[in-house]
Structure 1
Amino acid sequence: MEYLLLALIILIVISVFRFFRQRNYLKTLTEEQFREGYRKAQLIDVREPQEFKNGHILGARNIPVTQMKQRLIEIRPDKPVYLYCQSGARSARAAQLLHKKGYKDINQLKGGFKKWTGKVKRG
Protein backbone atom coordinates (compact mmCIF):
# COMPACT_ATOMS: atom_id res chain seq x y z
CA MET A 1 0.00 0.00 0.00
CA GLU A 2 2.84 2.41 0.85
CA TYR A 3 4.51 1.70 -2.51
CA LEU A 4 1.27 2.36 -4.35
CA LEU A 5 0.84 5.69 -2.60
CA LEU A 6 4.45 6.64 -3.31
CA ALA A 7 4.06 5.70 -6.98
CA LEU A 8 0.90 7.80 -7.20
CA ILE A 9 2.63 10.81 -5.63
CA ILE A 10 5.56 10.46 -8.05
CA LEU A 11 3.18 10.32 -11.02
CA ILE A 12 1.38 13.45 -9.84
CA VAL A 13 4.67 15.33 -9.37
CA ILE A 14 5.86 14.32 -12.86
CA SER A 15 2.54 15.39 -14.41
CA VAL A 16 2.63 18.79 -12.69
CA PHE A 17 6.26 19.29 -13.76
CA ARG A 18 5.44 18.45 -17.41
CA PHE A 19 2.44 20.77 -17.38
CA PHE A 20 4.47 23.77 -16.23
CA ARG A 21 7.41 22.97 -18.53
CA GLN A 22 5.04 22.66 -21.48
CA ARG A 23 3.66 26.14 -20.85
CA ASN A 24 7.11 27.51 -21.74
CA TYR A 25 6.95 26.33 -25.36
CA LEU A 26 3.28 25.64 -26.16
CA LYS A 27 0.64 28.35 -26.41
CA THR A 28 -2.91 27.13 -25.90
CA LEU A 29 -5.20 29.45 -27.83
CA THR A 30 -8.92 30.08 -27.61
CA GLU A 31 -10.86 29.46 -30.81
CA GLU A 32 -10.86 33.20 -31.52
CA GLN A 33 -7.07 33.50 -31.08
CA PHE A 34 -6.55 30.33 -33.12
CA ARG A 35 -8.75 31.67 -35.92
CA GLU A 36 -6.79 34.96 -36.02
CA GLY A 37 -3.48 33.24 -36.75
CA TYR A 38 -3.93 29.85 -38.34
CA ARG A 39 -4.19 31.10 -41.94
CA LYS A 40 -0.66 32.53 -41.73
CA ALA A 41 0.67 29.36 -40.13
CA GLN A 42 1.03 25.64 -40.75
CA LEU A 43 -2.31 24.18 -39.66
CA ILE A 44 -1.86 20.55 -38.69
CA ASP A 45 -4.50 18.06 -37.59
CA VAL A 46 -2.66 15.39 -35.58
CA ARG A 47 -5.60 12.96 -35.42
CA GLU A 48 -5.66 9.68 -37.31
CA PRO A 49 -6.64 9.71 -41.03
CA GLN A 50 -10.14 8.31 -40.44
CA GLU A 51 -10.90 11.04 -37.90
CA PHE A 52 -9.58 13.64 -40.36
CA LYS A 53 -11.83 12.30 -43.15
CA ASN A 54 -14.87 12.55 -40.88
CA GLY A 55 -14.30 16.30 -40.57
CA HIS A 56 -11.45 18.77 -40.13
CA ILE A 57 -10.77 22.50 -40.03
CA LEU A 58 -10.75 23.94 -43.54
CA GLY A 59 -7.16 24.22 -44.75
CA ALA A 60 -5.65 21.72 -42.31
CA ARG A 61 -3.09 19.07 -43.25
CA ASN A 62 -3.28 15.66 -41.63
CA ILE A 63 -0.04 14.56 -39.98
CA PRO A 64 -1.04 12.08 -37.26
CA VAL A 65 1.02 12.29 -34.07
CA THR A 66 1.84 8.60 -34.63
CA GLN A 67 3.63 9.55 -37.90
CA MET A 68 5.07 12.90 -36.89
CA LYS A 69 8.69 11.78 -36.33
CA GLN A 70 8.84 10.31 -39.82
CA ARG A 71 7.13 13.33 -41.42
CA LEU A 72 8.98 16.24 -39.76
CA ILE A 73 10.37 17.26 -43.16
CA GLU A 74 6.83 18.39 -44.05
CA ILE A 75 6.78 20.94 -41.22
CA ARG A 76 8.86 24.11 -41.57
CA PRO A 77 10.65 25.18 -38.38
CA ASP A 78 10.68 28.86 -39.45
CA LYS A 79 6.88 29.24 -39.59
CA PRO A 80 4.32 29.12 -36.78
CA VAL A 81 2.73 25.71 -36.20
CA TYR A 82 -0.95 25.47 -35.23
CA LEU A 83 -1.91 22.03 -33.95
CA TYR A 84 -5.17 20.43 -32.99
CA CYS A 85 -6.57 16.99 -32.23
CA GLN A 86 -9.93 15.89 -30.87
CA SER A 87 -9.51 17.26 -27.33
CA GLY A 88 -5.93 18.49 -26.83
CA ALA A 89 -3.93 15.53 -25.51
CA ARG A 90 -2.42 14.39 -28.83
CA SER A 91 -1.64 17.93 -29.96
CA ALA A 92 0.26 18.43 -26.68
CA ARG A 93 2.30 15.27 -27.43
CA ALA A 94 2.99 16.51 -30.95
CA ALA A 95 4.07 19.88 -29.54
CA GLN A 96 6.49 18.17 -27.19
CA LEU A 97 8.08 16.33 -30.12
CA LEU A 98 8.33 19.51 -32.20
CA HIS A 99 9.86 21.39 -29.26
CA LYS A 100 12.52 18.69 -28.84
CA LYS A 101 13.33 19.06 -32.55
CA GLY A 102 13.88 22.82 -32.21
CA TYR A 103 10.54 24.28 -33.33
CA LYS A 104 9.77 27.56 -31.56
CA ASP A 105 6.32 28.97 -32.42
CA ILE A 106 3.98 26.12 -31.41
CA ASN A 107 0.28 26.66 -30.72
CA GLN A 108 -2.67 24.41 -30.00
CA LEU A 109 -6.44 24.84 -30.10
CA LYS A 110 -7.93 24.90 -26.61
CA GLY A 111 -10.44 22.06 -26.28
CA GLY A 112 -9.50 20.60 -29.67
CA PHE A 113 -11.68 19.94 -32.70
CA LYS A 114 -14.68 18.96 -30.60
CA LYS A 115 -14.91 22.60 -29.42
CA TRP A 116 -14.39 24.11 -32.92
CA THR A 117 -17.39 26.07 -34.26
CA GLY A 118 -15.81 27.38 -37.47
CA LYS A 119 -15.81 25.99 -41.00
CA VAL A 120 -15.34 22.25 -41.34
CA LYS A 121 -14.53 20.17 -44.40
CA ARG A 122 -15.69 16.57 -44.63
CA GLY A 123 -14.14 13.88 -46.77
Structure 2
Amino acid sequence: MLKRILLSLCCLFSGVGLANQRAPEAWQWLEQGAVLIDVRTLEEFQQGHLEGATLIPYQQIVAGAQQLGLKEDQAVVVYCRSGRRSGIAQQLLEQAGFSKVHNGGGLQEMQLAQP
Protein backbone atom coordinates (compact mmCIF):
# COMPACT_ATOMS: atom_id res chain seq x y z
CA MET A 1 0.00 0.00 0.00
CA LEU A 2 2.79 2.40 0.90
CA LYS A 3 4.52 1.59 -2.38
CA ARG A 4 1.32 2.48 -4.32
CA ILE A 5 0.98 5.78 -2.43
CA LEU A 6 4.61 6.70 -3.07
CA LEU A 7 4.26 5.81 -6.76
CA SER A 8 1.13 7.97 -7.01
CA LEU A 9 2.92 10.91 -5.37
CA CYS A 10 5.94 10.54 -7.65
CA CYS A 11 3.70 10.48 -10.71
CA LEU A 12 1.72 13.47 -9.48
CA PHE A 13 4.80 15.61 -8.86
CA SER A 14 6.56 14.53 -12.02
CA GLY A 15 3.55 15.53 -14.12
CA VAL A 16 2.88 11.97 -15.24
CA GLY A 17 -0.59 10.72 -14.38
CA LEU A 18 -1.06 7.33 -12.78
CA ALA A 19 -3.55 6.63 -15.56
CA ASN A 20 -0.63 6.51 -18.00
CA GLN A 21 0.81 3.56 -16.11
CA ARG A 22 -2.18 1.47 -15.07
CA ALA A 23 -3.14 0.10 -18.51
CA PRO A 24 0.35 -1.11 -19.52
CA GLU A 25 0.68 -2.76 -16.11
CA ALA A 26 -2.75 -4.36 -16.60
CA TRP A 27 -1.52 -5.96 -19.84
CA GLN A 28 1.48 -7.36 -17.97
CA TRP A 29 -0.88 -8.91 -15.43
CA LEU A 30 -3.00 -10.37 -18.24
CA GLU A 31 0.06 -11.86 -19.95
CA GLN A 32 0.78 -13.61 -16.65
CA GLY A 33 -2.71 -15.15 -16.50
CA ALA A 34 -4.89 -12.59 -14.73
CA VAL A 35 -8.65 -12.76 -15.24
CA LEU A 36 -10.07 -9.77 -17.16
CA ILE A 37 -13.36 -8.29 -15.91
CA ASP A 38 -15.34 -5.47 -17.53
CA VAL A 39 -17.34 -3.72 -14.78
CA ARG A 40 -19.48 -1.53 -17.06
CA THR A 41 -23.15 -2.02 -17.89
CA LEU A 42 -24.45 -4.70 -20.25
CA GLU A 43 -25.28 -2.03 -22.82
CA GLU A 44 -21.72 -0.65 -22.72
CA PHE A 45 -20.28 -4.16 -22.93
CA GLN A 46 -22.43 -4.97 -25.98
CA GLN A 47 -21.14 -1.84 -27.73
CA GLY A 48 -17.58 -3.14 -27.45
CA HIS A 49 -15.21 -4.72 -24.97
CA LEU A 50 -11.77 -6.23 -24.70
CA GLU A 51 -11.39 -9.73 -26.07
CA GLY A 52 -11.63 -12.31 -23.32
CA ALA A 53 -13.33 -9.99 -20.85
CA THR A 54 -16.11 -11.22 -18.60
CA LEU A 55 -18.89 -8.77 -17.79
CA ILE A 56 -19.64 -8.21 -14.11
CA PRO A 57 -21.19 -4.78 -13.40
CA TYR A 58 -19.28 -3.11 -10.58
CA GLN A 59 -22.27 -3.17 -8.23
CA GLN A 60 -22.23 -6.99 -8.44
CA ILE A 61 -18.46 -7.50 -8.53
CA VAL A 62 -17.96 -9.53 -5.35
CA ALA A 63 -20.89 -11.89 -5.94
CA GLY A 64 -19.94 -12.16 -9.62
CA ALA A 65 -16.31 -13.00 -8.84
CA GLN A 66 -17.47 -15.66 -6.40
CA GLN A 67 -19.90 -17.07 -9.00
CA LEU A 68 -17.00 -17.30 -11.45
CA GLY A 69 -15.18 -19.36 -8.85
CA LEU A 70 -12.30 -16.91 -8.51
CA LYS A 71 -9.98 -17.59 -5.59
CA GLU A 72 -8.97 -14.73 -3.32
CA ASP A 73 -5.35 -15.03 -4.51
CA GLN A 74 -6.27 -15.10 -8.23
CA ALA A 75 -4.92 -12.12 -10.17
CA VAL A 76 -7.75 -9.98 -11.54
CA VAL A 77 -7.74 -6.92 -13.83
CA VAL A 78 -10.86 -4.74 -13.86
CA TYR A 79 -11.69 -1.95 -16.29
CA CYS A 80 -14.64 0.31 -17.15
CA ARG A 81 -15.07 3.48 -19.25
CA SER A 82 -12.86 5.88 -17.34
CA GLY A 83 -11.34 3.97 -14.41
CA ARG A 84 -13.73 5.28 -11.76
CA ARG A 85 -16.07 2.26 -11.57
CA SER A 86 -13.14 -0.14 -11.89
CA GLY A 87 -11.53 1.67 -8.96
CA ILE A 88 -14.66 1.06 -6.91
CA ALA A 89 -14.71 -2.58 -8.04
CA GLN A 90 -11.06 -2.94 -7.03
CA GLN A 91 -11.82 -1.60 -3.56
CA LEU A 92 -14.85 -3.86 -3.14
CA LEU A 93 -12.87 -6.94 -4.17
CA GLU A 94 -10.00 -6.04 -1.86
CA GLN A 95 -12.42 -5.49 1.03
CA ALA A 96 -13.84 -8.95 0.30
CA GLY A 97 -10.36 -10.48 0.66
CA PHE A 98 -9.12 -10.58 -2.93
CA SER A 99 -5.43 -9.79 -2.73
CA LYS A 100 -4.36 -9.36 -6.38
CA VAL A 101 -6.62 -6.82 -8.07
CA HIS A 102 -5.46 -4.24 -10.59
CA ASN A 103 -7.48 -1.31 -11.95
CA GLY A 104 -6.69 -1.22 -15.67
CA GLY A 105 -8.56 2.05 -16.10
CA GLY A 106 -10.81 2.76 -19.06
CA LEU A 107 -11.56 0.71 -22.14
CA GLN A 108 -9.94 3.21 -24.50
CA GLU A 109 -6.91 3.48 -22.22
CA MET A 110 -6.57 -0.31 -22.24
CA GLN A 111 -6.97 -0.47 -26.02
CA LEU A 112 -4.29 2.16 -26.59
CA ALA A 113 -1.83 0.35 -24.33
CA GLN A 114 -2.51 -3.11 -25.77
CA PRO A 115 0.75 -4.72 -26.91
TM-score scaled by length of structure 2: 0.70
Partner secondary structure for residue 91 of structure 2: helix
Distance in 2 between residues matched to 1:92 and 1:31, nearest whole Å: 13
Q: Tell me whether 1:85 sits opposite 2:80 in the alignment.
A: yes
Note the aligned Cα RMSD (angstroms). 2.6
Q: How many residue pairs were aligned?
A: 96
Distance in 2 between residues matched to 1:31 and 1:93, nearest whole Å: 16
* CA deviation profile, 1:1-44 (whole Å, cap 9, x unmatched): xxxxxxxxxxxxxxxxxxx89x47xx974332222221411110
Q: Partner residue of 1:113?
A: 107
Superposition map of 1:1-123 within 5 A:
23=4, 29-39=21-31, 40-73=33-66, 74=68, 75-110=70-105, 112-115=106-109, 116-117=111-112, 118=114
Q: 1:114 to 1:105 in 2, by over 3 A?
A: same
Structure 1 gap segments, 5+ residues each: 1-19
Distance in 1 between residues matched to 2:63 and 2:29, nearest whole Å: 26
Partner secondary structure for residue 104 of structure 1: coil
| Amino acid of the structure 1 residue aligned with 2:26 | F
The sequence identity of aligned pairs, in percent, is 31
| Amino acid of the structure 1 residue aligned with 2:36 | L
TM-score scaled by length of structure 1: 0.66
* CA deviation profile, 1:32-62 (whole Å, cap 9, x unmatched): 2222221411110000111011111111100
Q: Which has the higher helix share?
A: 2
Which 4+ stretches in 1 moved above 4 angstroms? none
* Paired residues of 2:62 and 2:96 also in contact (CA < 8 A): no
Q: Which structure has the greater CA radius of gyration?
A: 1
Q: 1:69 to 1:37 in 2, by over 3 A?
A: closer
Distance in 2 between residues matched to 1:68 and 1:100, nearest whole Å: 11
* CA deviation profile, 1:63-110 (whole Å, cap 9, x unmatched): 111222432312321211101000000001111111111111110114
Q: 1:94 to 1:114 in 2, by over 3 A?
A: same
